[in-house]
Structure 1
Amino acid sequence: MSDFLLKLFKVETINKLPIDKLYPIIESLDQDQRRLIANSYDLDLDGLSLTEEVDAIHNKIISEFKNTLMSFDEKEHKSFYDFYNGAVDYSDENVYVNMKKFTSLGLMYLFLSKSGTYFNFVIPIELIEMYEKLLQSS
């Protein structure tokens, strides 16, 4: 992976083994990552304990998931669907723009591989289940 990508996703990168559940992922985020997600939702974390921050972010992501998806344009929908399917065209520069957006919204998380040479992206199980229900109902 290029140094450019490592720098581009410096705040979003989690340097731990991948986790697939939303709450434990949020617990593992550092303060900058939590603030990034909170800012995306205009969520005020000032004066909250770590547990309260994690609870607030978790609840906001879950409660806003459908509305967040509905706010996407066609290209963002396609990109999210590609990530969901694991069939991502990394030669498309929009992939990186959308990765930034999805990570800042807490819909997807980037875990650095043990070797530090690539990202493992994770969409938490709870969000996948909600997404699949939305796909079935559409």
Structure 2
Amino acid sequence: MLKNAAQTIGDLIDKQNVSFISSIDVEGFPYTKAMLSPRKREGIKTFYFTTNTSSMRVAQYRENPKACIYFCDKRFFRGAMLKGFMEVLEDIESKEMIWQEGDTMYYHKGATDPDYCVLKFTAQSGRYYSNFHSEDFIIE
């Protein structure tokens, strides 16, 4: 039994350098993409990622904000899926909040680059897998 989801899953997330995000296309099919770890997280409820405003994923989230994110610890064969909603943020405060030195490699105009945006994921529930057992949980 998962005693402290926030701590157990938070620890798993913090040790990963890859995450997976999923969106829904116009035909209702899921699309999954590997991403770098979230730039910022608030517990296991809110996560912030960077991406290109012009990306297919951003268009899909604007059309349908339903999303999930997944973190996998392949060493111990455990993982956590979080289900919720993804927002596309383009305000300068959000962009500067997660901007890092070196991001100009991708966004040449800096934090004001129109092709740079923030994906804000807000989780509602999740599913944790460990030791050949899965468990659903609600995020408050």
TM-score normalised to the size of structure 1? Answer: 0.24
Say which structure is richer in strand: 2
Higher RCO, 1 or 2 (CA under 8 Å, sep at least 6)?
1
Larger radius of gyration: 2
Say which structure is richer in helix: 1
TM-score normalised to the size of structure 2? Answer: 0.24
